Amino acid sequence: MAELTYRTAGESHGPGVVSILEGLPRGVRVDTDFIDGELRRRQGGYGRGARQRIESDVADYLGGVRLGRTTGGPVAMLIPNRDSRLDDLKRTRPVERPRPGHADLAGSLKWLVPDCRETLERASARETAGRTGMGALARCMLKDLGIEVFGFVRGGGPDPAAMGDFKVDESNWRELRDAREASEVYLPDPAASEAMIASIRQAKIDKDTVGGFVEVHVFGCPPGLGSCVQWSDRLDARLAYAVMGIQAFKAVEIGLGTECGRRNGSKVHDPIGFDADRTDERNLGFVRESNNAGGLEGGMTDGMPVVVRGTMKPIATLLQGLPSVNLVTRKPENSQYERSDISAIAAASVVAENVVALEIARAVRAKFGGDSMEEVSAQMETYLRLARELGSSAT
């Protein structure tokens, strides 16, 4: 069965985050350095809190991996928590003053408990360590198929100068990746990066928080991933679901996104051309001068790079607190402070990069099937050959 599924379990201050990724074929090379590197990147970025100095995230494999390769069975991954103290009542006091913008109040009402602790422990973005690890593992498969994923921070905060002004394409994304690695906020535009750092620094002084915008590009996707047959199989919908499912995300765009609503159709849709010189093992010869669709038309990849953007709101835990109500006394009080970040937009870009990879991997498995990497590669090559020959025998 070629369906790829994934789930996580665990609390922010429990023993660890457990993930199960099912549906990878046998024979995927598990690049542990790359996977652990993505987990470290998720912990980084200017504006992160003290928790990241406590944890040192690495993935332990409890099943599904043998001799450095996947076996075809479910992969069970554990990312241990060093700061494991959920049952220590002295160190995990009740939270009875919910934070506006967090899951605290909604969860307390849902589960009928005045202590927000159990809600916030599971709602915490600590859970994204599991999705990041699984996404990085899925990228090991995608890389072997010639598919690369690149995510970064586009900008954010109140200063307009903190928005990167650069284009991303197949010719420059590796150079931009190097620039991203040189930025403390993972923003590959030095001037915008400095402006964003300044905004986060000022927010810390003001006891406030900063959000921002992330962007993910996927290169090398064959056309035809996803489907228009059922709404639930549309790849753009799956990508939007995955990115919106990242804690604190409030908007997702594909390609040109909301700008489509301000243009006429002639300025939105990407004209189609054909260049026989661009037909090879990976390319089918169809070319576009623009990519406003973000590589997705009708819920399917069209051969252009996939482009997904997400908006992260400022973190809900403010040092200054916000007006709230004590759930026990019902008296007005400021919201409770839980150790947190001033900004986690850099980390969010890493999470977005890897959850996008999970959905691309899911679509690859649905399209090409196969129980082993040899089968997946062969079936993808066969499909591309047939697509290149499309119409060649027509009379």
Question: The domain spanning residue 332 has which CATH number?
Answer: 3.60.150.10
CA distance 83 to 15: 8
pLDDT of residue 280: 75
Q: Look at 69-73, 171-175, 319-323, 365-369 and tell me which has the smallest mean pLDDT.
A: 319-323
Q: With a threshold of 0.85, does the pTM exceed it?
A: yes
Q: If 0-12 CB within 10 Å is exposed, 13-18 middle and 19+ buried, where does residue 323 land? A: exposed
pLDDT of residue 226: 98
Closest CA to 218 of 37, 43, 358: 358
CA distance 65 to 73: 8
Say yes or no to pLDDT of 283 above 90.
no
Within a domain: residue 32? Answer: yes
Within a domain: residue 360? Answer: yes
Say yes or no to pLDDT of 44 above 70.
yes
pLDDT of residue 395: 43
Q: Higher confidence at residue 280 or residue 78?
A: 78
Within a domain: residue 393? Answer: no
pLDDT of residue 321: 87
pLDDT of residue 241: 98
- Evaluate whether 97 touches 326 at the Cβ level (below 8 Å): yes
Within a domain: residue 395? Answer: no
Within a domain: residue 292? Answer: yes
pLDDT digits (tens, 9 = 90+) for 199-223: 999 999 999 999 999 999 999 999 9
Within a domain: residue 329? Answer: yes
- Domain containing 72 equals 5-388
pLDDT digits (tens, 9 = 90+) for 324-349: 999 999 999 999 877 678 999 999 99
Within a domain: residue 173? Answer: yes
C-alpha angle with apex 249: 233 to 211, nearest 5 degrees?
150
CA distance 282 to 385: 9
Structure tokens at 374: 């040899």
Q: Which residues, in sequence order, are bridge partners of residue 296?
A: 301
Domain count, the chain: 1
The phi and psi torsions of 32 (rounded to 5 degrees) equal -65, -35
Cβ contacts of 167 within 8 Å, gap of 6 or more:
none
Within a domain: residue 13? Answer: yes
Torsion over CA: 287, 288, 289, 294 (sign): negative
- Evaluate whether 237 touches 243 at the Cβ level (below 8 Å): no
CA distance 280 to 288: 17
Q: What is the 3-state secondary structure (H, E, C) of the chain?
A: CCCCEEEEECCCCCCEEEEEEECCCECCECCHHHHHHHHHHHHCCCCCCCHHHHCCCCCEEEECEECCEECCCCEEEEEECCCCCCCCCCCCCCCCCCCCCCCHHHHHHHHCCCCCHHHHHHHCHHHHHHHHHHHHHHHHHHHHCCCEEEEEEEECCCCHHHECCCCCCCCCHHHHHHHHHCCCCCCCCHHHHHHHHHHHHHHHHCCCCCCEEEEEEEECCCCCCECCCCHHHCHHHHHHHHHHCCCCEEEEEECCHHHHHHCCHHHCCCCEEEEEEEECCCCEEEEECCCCCCCEECCEECCCCEEEEEEECCCCCCCCCCEEECCCCCCEEECCCCCCCCCCHHHHHHHHHHHHHHHHHHHHHHHHCCCEHHHHHHHHHHHHHHHHCCCCCCC
pLDDT of residue 48: 76
- Summarize the confidence of residues 97-119 as an average pLDDT: 94
Closest CA to 226 of 306, 284, 146: 306
